[in-house]
Amino acid sequence: MLKFIKNWLERLAKENEKSFGSGRLDCCDLNKPKNTNMQASNNTNKK
């Protein structure tokens, strides 16, 4: 039984790495565009 759970967790970890990459998942970084230049230009236009 433990071997089954260990294998399942390893497969889950591999799939998560494919989907999310190997970097740290931070709730503050999720759902934000990666291009910071676009964010900077948007912030200056709003002022």
> How high is the pLDDT of residue 21?
81
What would you measure as the largest C-alpha separation in the chain, in angstroms?
A: 60
Q: How confident is the model at residue 29 (pLDDT cuts 50, 70, 90)?
A: low
Q: How far apart are CA 25 and CA 9, in angstroms?
A: 18
Question: Is residue 42 predicted with pLDDT exceeding 90?
Answer: no
Q: Which two tokens stand for residue 6?
A: 């260990």
pLDDT, residue 9, reads 95
Average pLDDT over residues 24-39: 65
DSSP-derived secondary structure letter, 24? -
CA 46 vs. chain centroid, Å, equals 28
Q: Is the pLDDT of residue 46 over 60?
A: no
- Give the model's pLDDT for residue 11: 95
